[in-house]
Amino acid sequence: MAAGTALGNTPREGPRRAFRPVRTVGGFPEGRGHLEGKERGILSRCIAYMNQQTAVTQATAAKKTLPDAQTVTEVRHYTDDLFYFRTTRPQSLRFRSGEFVMIGLPGDDGKPIMRAYSIASPAWDDGLDFYSIKVQDGPLTSRLQHIKPGDEIILRPKPVGTLVLDALLPGKRLWFLATGTGIAPFASLMRDPETYEQYDEVIMMHTCREVAELEFGRELVESLPQDPLIGEFVGDKLKYYPTTTREDFRNMGRVTDNLASGKVFRDLGLPCEKMDPSADRAMVCGSLDFNKDVMAILEGWGLREGANSEPAEYVVEKAFVG
């Protein structure tokens, strides 16, 4: 459910900028006005950069004809079954990195076809990134996969979700566990300075059937340490552990197997072979079966599921399919 059964590459457009222009509120990126010291310095540079870009964003925003319409500003196809797109962001939309919104297109009968999509960009960004599978007979993605820059989509500006830092108790090491398009909320959280403020170490485990399906995540993760804006936050805190299950790759195996066997701990040189509920925190996003199997492992190690209302050691969300 989470991942496309991707086969083969499609041509992609040029390299992606990890950081985007930022909307400011009171001189600081929206939702980040509380940052201080070094963070403010870095974010001031973000603001200068983004201000240069504002004209471009405004010029791109076409006249809105749909209710809750947003304009597509970029599309990249990763495989025959996976694509990324970026849209303008409604002025009114405030969200926490890791949350999702409903997006869609008008159906043939004029009624909107809406699906839940994790926002793949961080809360401070002035555009919205999404990462989607293409279901050839899917009511929404059979059409959404054909969107182009300048087109409009419907976006309901009511973000929700449990994959938020607030739903976890303080800890030392944060695990992002995803299959397929389940990496989308983590593409947001990996670009949020708060992730690195709250944790000493962040581990991104992502498993797909084939190598080409890892590309979106690889491109993003590998750009971060050198990124002029977020790089200082990321430093050497972010460890990336991509694996495949159905195509040869340097590292293989399901997230569940690599956790349960201790392989990921050994491969990353961690001083333990399982998670410690006093230090490890996890966020899980994949298919229902994946989520269930990962939860069983985490619970076996003594981690408890948290929620916004009652933070604990891990949180889980289904990766949504269109």
Residues 181-210 interacting with ligand A2P (rule: CB under 6 A): 207-209
Residues 250-269 that bind ligand A2P (CB under 6 A): 254-256
Q: How near is the Cβ of 82 to ligand A2P at its closest, in Å?
A: 11
According to the binding rule CB under 6 A, does residue 293 interact with ligand A2P?
yes
DSSP state of 109: T
Which amino acid is present at 183? I
Binding of residue 163 to ligand A2P (CB under 6 A):
no
For the bound state, the minimum distance from the C-beta of residue 263 to ligand A2P, rounded and expressed in Å, comes to 14
Nearer Cβ to ligand A2P, position 49 or 301? 301
Beta carbon of residue 179, minimum distance to ligand A2P (angstroms, whole number) = 3
Sign of CA dihedral 51, 57, 59, 63: negative
Instruction: Round the CA-based radius of gyration of the chain to a whole number and report it.
Output: 19
Residue with Cβ nearer ligand A2P (3 or 155): 3
What value, to the nearest 5°, has the Cα angle with vertex 286 and ends 118 and 216? 65
* 288 to 292, 309, 321: CA distances (angstroms): 6, 22, 11
Q: Give the span between the Cα atoms of 320 and 3, in whole angstroms.
A: 9
What's the closest the beta carbon of residue 322 comes to ligand A2P, in angstroms? 14
Binding mask 220-249 for ligand A2P (x = CB under 6 A): -------------------------xx---
> Minimal distance in Å, beta carbon 245 to ligand A2P?
3
CB of 37 to ligand A2P, least distance (A): 41
**Binding residue (CB under 6 A) for ligand A2P from 118, 132, 145, 179:** 179
Q: Which of residues 4-23 bind ligand A2P (CB under 6 A)?
A: 5
Which range, of 116-124, 158-166, 198-206, 284-292, touches ligand A2P by CB under 6 A? 284-292
Question: How far apart, in whole angstroms, are the C-alpha atoms of residue 183 and residue 152?
Answer: 24
Long-range contacts of 7-15 (CB under 8 A, 24+ apart): 7/79, 7/80, 7/81, 7/210, 8/79, 8/80, 8/212, 9/78, 9/79, 9/212, 10/77, 10/78, 10/79, 10/80, 11/77, 12/76, 12/77, 12/78, 13/74, 13/76, 15/219
Give, as ranges, the residues between 91 and 110 that touch ligand A2P (CB under 6 A): none
How many residues bind to ligand A2P according to rule CB under 6 A? 18
DSSP, res 61: -
| Positions in the binding site for ligand A2P (CB under 6 A) | 1-3, 5, 179-180, 207-209, 245-246, 254-256, 287, 289-290, 293
